[in-house]
């Protein structure tokens, strides 16, 4: 029984080391803080927002997101689903804004234990 417990604890510890920390992304979306997003954006990223869908450079992607946040000021953000793999992951969330709710899908890759955004889809 002790071996089973020890094995379970070690396995769970190993899994937690592999997961990327998405807190910086979720906090940025809660606050509508594009300067925080800019720090974790890939050099190129797919951005899909209402009225636009394209692959942008990192700075253009941040500008597109900034325009969205100015039009739809976030009042909150909640993660609905999150899945991690070895070197990448994704999560789905929901932005609460004064003019409605928006579903958000973010795909990221893991670099040095940190999530780097590759794709943002807001609908």
Residue-wise pLDDT for 74-99, tens only, equals 999 999 999 998 899 999 999 999 99
Total domains in the fold of the chain: 1
- 87/83 Cα distance (integer angstroms): 11
Q: Which of 50, 57, 92 is nearest to 71 (CA)?
A: 50
CATH number, domain containing residue 29: 3.10.450.50
Answer whether residue 51 is part of any domain: yes
Answer whether residue 7 is part of any domain: no
Q: The domain containing residue 86 runs over which residues?
A: 20-122
- 10/84 Cα distance (integer angstroms): 19
Answer whether residue 15 is part of any domain: no
Answer whether residue 56 is part of any domain: yes
Answer whether residue 90 is part of any domain: yes
Tracing tokens 């955004």 back to the chain, one arrives at 117
Q: What is the pLDDT of residue 85?
A: 87
The pTM score is 0.81
By percentage, how much of the chain surpasses pLDDT 70? 85
């Amino acid at each position: 029984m002790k071996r089973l417990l020890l094995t379970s604890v070690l396995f769970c510890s190993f899994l937690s080391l592999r997961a990327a920390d998405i807190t910086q992304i979720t906090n940025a979306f809660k606050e509508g803080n594009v300067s925080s997003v800019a720090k974790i954006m890939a050099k190129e990223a797919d951005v899909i927002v209402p009225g636009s869908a394209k692959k942008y450079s990192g700075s253009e992607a941040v500008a597109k997101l900034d325009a969205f946040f100015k039009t739809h000021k976030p009042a909150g953000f909640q993660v609905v689903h999150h899945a991690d793999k070895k070197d990448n992951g994704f999560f789905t969330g929901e932005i609460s804004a004064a003019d409605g709710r928006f579903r958000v899908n973010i795909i990221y890759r893991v670099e040095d234990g940190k999530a780097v955004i590759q794709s943002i889809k807001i609908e």
